[in-house]
Protein backbone atom coordinates (compact mmCIF):
# COMPACT_ATOMS: atom_id res chain seq x y z
CA UNK A 1 0.00 0.00 0.00
CA UNK A 2 1.53 3.39 -0.96
CA UNK A 3 2.01 6.02 1.72
CA UNK A 4 0.28 9.36 1.25
CA UNK A 5 1.82 12.57 2.61
CA UNK A 6 0.24 16.01 2.63
CA UNK A 7 2.46 18.54 0.91
CA UNK A 8 2.22 22.33 0.87
CA UNK A 9 -1.12 23.43 -0.56
CA UNK A 10 -2.85 20.18 0.50
CA UNK A 11 -1.56 18.27 -2.52
CA UNK A 12 -1.38 14.57 -1.70
CA UNK A 13 1.87 12.90 -2.76
CA UNK A 14 1.87 9.14 -3.16
CA UNK A 15 5.14 7.30 -2.60
CA UNK A 16 5.14 3.92 -4.25
CA UNK A 17 7.96 1.39 -4.67
CA UNK A 18 8.39 2.78 -8.20
CA UNK A 19 9.12 6.26 -6.81
CA UNK A 20 11.64 4.89 -4.33
CA UNK A 21 13.55 3.10 -7.08
CA UNK A 22 13.81 6.41 -8.97
CA UNK A 23 15.41 8.16 -5.98
CA UNK A 24 18.85 9.57 -6.76
CA UNK A 25 21.92 7.70 -5.60
CA UNK A 26 23.71 9.49 -2.78
CA UNK A 27 27.48 9.69 -2.45
CA UNK A 28 28.40 9.52 1.23
CA UNK A 29 31.43 11.36 2.61
CA UNK A 30 32.61 10.78 6.17
CA UNK A 31 32.63 13.97 8.23
CA UNK A 32 34.70 14.88 11.28
CA UNK A 33 32.27 14.99 14.24
CA UNK A 34 34.07 18.10 15.54
CA UNK A 35 32.95 19.97 12.41
CA UNK A 36 29.35 18.74 12.65
CA UNK A 37 28.27 18.63 16.31
CA UNK A 38 29.21 20.50 19.49
CA UNK A 39 30.63 17.87 21.78
CA UNK A 40 33.71 16.47 23.46
CA UNK A 41 36.30 13.96 22.26
CA UNK A 42 37.17 11.27 24.83
CA UNK A 43 39.82 8.76 23.76
CA UNK A 44 38.48 7.30 20.50
CA UNK A 45 34.87 8.41 21.14
CA UNK A 46 33.05 11.68 20.56
CA UNK A 47 30.25 12.58 23.00
CA UNK A 48 27.49 15.06 22.21
CA UNK A 49 24.41 15.84 24.30
CA UNK A 50 20.81 16.13 23.10
CA UNK A 51 21.25 15.25 19.44
CA UNK A 52 18.03 13.81 18.01
CA UNK A 53 17.72 11.86 14.78
CA UNK A 54 14.68 12.62 12.62
CA UNK A 55 14.33 9.20 11.04
CA UNK A 56 15.95 6.31 9.22
CA UNK A 57 17.28 6.60 5.69
CA UNK A 58 17.39 3.88 3.03
CA UNK A 59 21.22 3.99 3.05
CA UNK A 60 23.35 1.77 5.26
CA UNK A 61 26.67 2.83 6.76
CA UNK A 62 29.48 2.44 4.22
CA UNK A 63 32.02 2.00 7.04
CA UNK A 64 30.49 -0.79 9.15
CA UNK A 65 27.81 -1.94 6.65
CA UNK A 66 25.56 -2.81 9.61
CA UNK A 67 23.87 0.36 10.73
CA UNK A 68 21.03 2.01 8.84
CA UNK A 69 21.86 5.71 8.64
CA UNK A 70 19.76 8.20 10.59
CA UNK A 71 18.97 11.72 9.41
CA UNK A 72 20.13 14.42 11.85
CA UNK A 73 18.98 17.96 11.06
CA UNK A 74 20.41 21.19 12.46
CA UNK A 75 19.55 21.72 16.13
CA UNK A 76 20.92 23.67 19.08
CA UNK A 77 24.23 21.79 19.12
CA UNK A 78 24.23 20.41 15.55
CA UNK A 79 25.97 22.76 13.11
CA UNK A 80 25.51 20.71 9.93
CA UNK A 81 22.69 18.40 8.84
CA UNK A 82 24.15 14.93 8.33
CA UNK A 83 23.57 11.18 8.36
CA UNK A 84 24.61 9.26 11.47
CA UNK A 85 25.29 5.57 12.12
CA UNK A 86 24.28 4.50 15.64
CA UNK A 87 26.24 1.26 15.22
CA UNK A 88 29.72 2.71 14.60
CA UNK A 89 28.92 6.36 15.53
CA UNK A 90 30.24 7.88 12.31
CA UNK A 91 28.83 11.01 10.62
CA UNK A 92 28.36 11.37 6.87
CA UNK A 93 27.52 14.12 4.45
CA UNK A 94 25.35 13.23 1.46
CA UNK A 95 26.02 14.49 -2.06
CA UNK A 96 24.01 14.08 -5.23
CA UNK A 97 25.73 12.60 -8.29
CA UNK A 98 26.67 16.09 -9.56
CA UNK A 99 28.37 16.94 -6.24
CA UNK A 100 25.73 19.25 -4.81
CA UNK A 101 24.76 18.68 -1.16
CA UNK A 102 21.67 16.53 -0.72
CA UNK A 103 20.95 17.90 2.76
CA UNK A 104 20.02 21.52 3.46
CA UNK A 105 22.55 23.56 5.35
Mean pLDDT, consecutive 10-residue segments, the chain of 105 residues? 40 53 82 87 77 88 92 89 90 90 78
Q: For residue 50, is it left (φ>0), alpha (ψ between -120 and 50) or beta?
A: left
**Interacting residues of 1 by C-beta distance below 8 A, sequence separation 6+:** none
The full set of domain ranges for the chain reads 24-105
Which tens digit of pLDDT belongs to each residue from 74-87?
888 898 999 999 88
Report phi then psi at 38, rounded to 5.
-75, 125
Amino acid sequence: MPLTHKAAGDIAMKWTPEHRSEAPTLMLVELDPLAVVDGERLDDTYLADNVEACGSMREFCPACRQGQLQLVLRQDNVRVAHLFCYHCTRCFGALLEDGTPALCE
